[in-house]
Amino acid sequence: MKIGILGGGQLGRMLIQEALKYDDEFYVLDPKPECSCAHISFFTQGNFNDKNTVFSFGKDKDVVSIEIEHVSVEGLEMLEEKGVKVIPSSNIIKIIQQKILQKQFYEEHQIPSPEFQVILSREEEIIIGFPFVQKLNTGGYDGKGVQVIKDENDLSKLWDEPSVLEKLVDIDKELSLIIAKNESGEIKTFPVTEMVADPQLNLLDFNICPAQITDDVQTQIDKIAEQFMQAANSEGLFAIELFLDTDGKVWVNETAPRLHNSGHQTQEGNTNSQFEQFYRVLKNLPLADTSHFAYSGMLNLVGDEHHSGKVKYEGLENVLKLPNSYVHLYGKTDTKPGRKMGHINVLADSREKLMQDLIHIKSLVKVVAEK
């Protein structure tokens, strides 16, 4: 089968890596000839935000999907009209692309998500109470395009762009659920994962799976997952990012209509990974078992803040000497401060040991530039 993917980053790379054990051809569209997928796929250099480029890339494929959501929805609609299978649907990608539509979607379908107000410019009257979080309608990623407005004095910081203003949640834990649905209607979820963020870089830091949550929280999450899949009405693999607040209530932060950083530890931590599952969605195969072994975790290898240039992974050999640690690099030649360059998955018999190992391993490696 000819599988076309818009975006050639690490998510696509790990999908192809997993799926090479089956017999398919992977085609990738990305503007950067040095992207993570360029040398492991049938590669087309081009702009996935341009509708005609997307259409001409996809028109002879059996299925077209994404590994980044900021793509031309119009191009995907043209493919759907021509009869090319697009997963997930252009409609759900369009909703998720824009924070305003995404929030309205949760509201319309009674999916719990923090209270919000929409503004189109900073001239509008602010009716939501302080403190709140401003999220740009488009263009935000990895914590960029998100800022906290604490009080009146902070209002001068407000960005003058269409945004969602969202009530600041008193967060106990950030959680993530990865869920997949195939064309036959089969649905499977992965165990809930906890995400521990790095306050400095705002880039996700550790994943811990399974999350330490009560039965009540699990029940709330199951209900959200069911509501979301019903409302989305599309096959695909989705990551639902959640907040657990200090009162024990679960809220949806946002959803990604694709493979997600919060699922990387499934590569060694579960009977099957998110990449295997996504492949099966693309081919409408029976979905894979998602059970977890013991505890698994992941740490991102991100570019050190003082280094730009040709990448060097300092201390990686010390990690390779350890049992139960698995290194994954993304094939990026150059590092930049905060750039996601790879990750390390870690397995352990207990949550305590996992945390210890993650912290230890993080101290062993540094992503720097060659001198």
Binding interface with ligand ADP (CB under 6 A):
114, 133, 135, 140-143, 146, 166-169, 171, 174, 197, 241, 253-254
CB 39 within 8 A of CB 62: no
Q: Which is nearer to ligand ADP, 204 or 311 (CB)?
A: 204
Based on CB atoms, which residue is closest to ligand ADP, 99 or 280? 99
CB of 265 to ligand ADP, least distance (A): 18
User: Nearest approach, Cβ of 148 to ligand ADP (angstroms)?
Assistant: 7
Instruction: Using the structure block, give the residue that is written with the tokens 């009540």.
Output: 216
3-state DSSP percent of the chain in helix, strand and coil, to 5? 30, 35, 40
- E strands, 121-277, are 132-136, 146-149, 163-167, 171-181, 187-189, 193-197, 204-209, 236-245, 250-256
Name the residue whose CB lies closest to ligand ADP.
169
Nearer to ligand ADP, 70 or 366 (CB): 70
CA 212-215-220 angle, to 5 degrees, is: 100
Q: Which residues of 135-145 are buried (b: 16+ CB within 10 A; e: fewer)?
A: bbbeebeeeeb
95/133 with CB nearer ligand ADP:
133
Q: Measured from the CB of residue 136, what is the shortest distance to ligand ADP in angstroms? A: 9
Please give the DSSP secondary-structure letter assigned to residue 144: B
Kindly calculate the radius of gyration of the chain based on its CA atoms and give it in whole angstroms.
20
CB of 253 to ligand ADP, least distance (A): 5
| Closer residue to ligand ADP (CB): 114 or 236 | 114
Q: Which CB, 6 or 169, lies closer to ligand ADP? A: 169
Q: If we measure between CA atoms, which residue out of 101, 44, 47, 43 comes closest to residue 70?
A: 47
Name the minimum Å distance from CB 361 to ligand ADP: 23
What minimum distance in Å lies between the beta carbon of 92 and ligand ADP? 16
